[in-house]
Structure 1
Amino acid sequence: MSTTFSRHVEEDARLIILRELHVQSDGRLNDGVLCHVLESFGHNRSREWVRTQIHKMAELGAVATTEAGSVVVAQITRAGVDHVLRRSKIEGIKQPSLGV
């Protein structure tokens, strides 16, 4: 897979994760559930790959993370919400389309 295509896949997956966190009543999901969400959108990746995306999104300020035993829990931040709602742009996460 080319570097450009890999970056596109990662940015798309990060947007899917943010959108799913945004619709949760408490804005949180664990990495196992997010694996299943991504699979439903055609991203069949390992749990470790999903964790890498979550940690990258934490570096970007889009999510906060906590660990519960061997599970990583992601919670959307205000910056993440603003990105999903197109009020701001976070580089490294695909920009949502207008019909969010």
Structure 2
Amino acid sequence: MKSSFADYQDADRRLVLLKALESAVQYRANVYLLRRFAESLGHVVGLDRAEQDLAWMAEQGLISTVKTLDVTVATLTERGLDVAAGRAKVPGVQQPAPGG
């Protein structure tokens, strides 16, 4: 199965979001902060795309989400922490580089 550039972008962006949550206080951040972090690493992330990524990662059990005053807040799960650290693999999320 061939992957497209968009597939690589999606997988890398999801890893970036997981890594952001890994370093956040209490493993939690809102969608706006996560977008800014991803954009600082070269991803162009609209609100719809960020919300879709968070919903997808919640379906995979990598994060949990709550909506407060129309703002999505994501919290990293144990499984998500394992994926961010490279201890587990999930198709659709880039593996971190060694030491990263």
TM-score by length of 1: 0.92
Instruction: Percent identity, please.
Output: 31
Residue number in structure 2 paired with 1:88: 88
Give the counterpart letter for 2:25 in structure 1: S
Give the counterpart letter for 2:49 in structure 1: W
Q: Secondary structure at the match of 1:67?
A: strand
The CA distance in 2 between the partners of 1:5 and 1:69, in whole Å, is: 35
1:25 is displaced (CA, Å) by 2.2
The CA distance in 2 between the partners of 1:74 and 1:4, in whole Å, is: 28
Worse-matched range after superposition: 57-66 or 82-91:
82-91
Structure 2: segments with no counterpart, 5+ residues: none
Structure 1: segments with no counterpart, 5+ residues: none
Q: Secondary structure at the match of 1:66?
A: strand
Give the CA RMSD over aligned residues: 1.1
**1:99 aligned onto 2:96:** no
Residue number in structure 1 paired with 2:26: 26
Residue number in structure 1 paired with 2:61: 61
